[in-house]
Amino acid sequence: MQTGWCPALKQDITSATLNKNKNGTANRALPTGRRPRKALPPSLKMAPAEGAEYHWVVMAASRLELNLVRLLCRCEAMAAEKRDPDEWRLEKYVGALEDMLQALKAQASKPASEVLNEYSRKVDFLKGMLQAEKLTSSSEKALANQFLAPGRVPTTARERVPATKTVHLQSRARYTSEMRSELLGTPEMDVRKRTRCHTPS
């Protein structure tokens, strides 16, 4: 009695069963007429979040999204560096990121909602970080820094930890050091003033 199997399919199954590699596992044979998938370039992949076992893959990213990711990486690198008080480029770049993000959300072929939320989270963090730096006292800066939420997923595959999270920790340590200096520096100045006042002429 005929089984009704296609001869080509039967040949593929037989070859997959007999074709063994050195480890003893069978090599999966592709069905006739199918081509192997090509791996996506690294620029279109988002690395996994810290402690997660999955990763996001940006499928068919638009030119606008690619430009947004490039500018976001540039802003994250500038935020991690020591900048002069008169530095204005980062604020302009973050403003451009906001405009690009709004345009990306309005596109018909926009990315998944999880990806857009991650972009928004990072842009909001950079914007809040710049606003916190404009505050006068270090205590106000430290308080504003506590309410900032850095990104959860690295922007590029080369990052092990999100760059915004690193910037968040750096700014927290800097503001804590400034607060300590203010608290310890004020008594010393008072002691010096009192010593000068009581010094006999």
- Residue 22's pLDDT is what? 44
Is 163 a domain residue? yes
- Asked if the structure places residue 166 within a domain, the reply is yes
Q: What is the mean pLDDT of each run of 10 residues along the chain (201 residues)?
A: 48 47 47 50 44 42 92 94 88 96 93 94 95 90 90 88 91 88 64 49 46
Residue written as tokens 């920790």?
A: 169
pLDDT of residue 84: 86
Is the distance from CB of 64 to CB of 108 less than 8 angstroms? no
Name which of 9, 61, 45 is nearest 30 in CA terms.
9
- Residue 137 located in a structural domain: yes
- pTM across the whole model: 0.59
Q: Is residue 129 part of a domain?
A: yes
What lies within 8 Å, CB to CB, of 94 at 6+ separation is 75, 123, 126, 127, 130
In a domain, 102, yes or no: yes
Query: The domain containing residue 72 runs over which residues?
Result: 42-172
For residue 42, give the DSSP letter.
G
Q: Is residue 151 part of a domain?
A: yes
- Give the chain's domain count: 1
Q: What distance in Å separates the CA atoms of residue 145 and residue 51, rounded to the nearest whole number?
A: 24
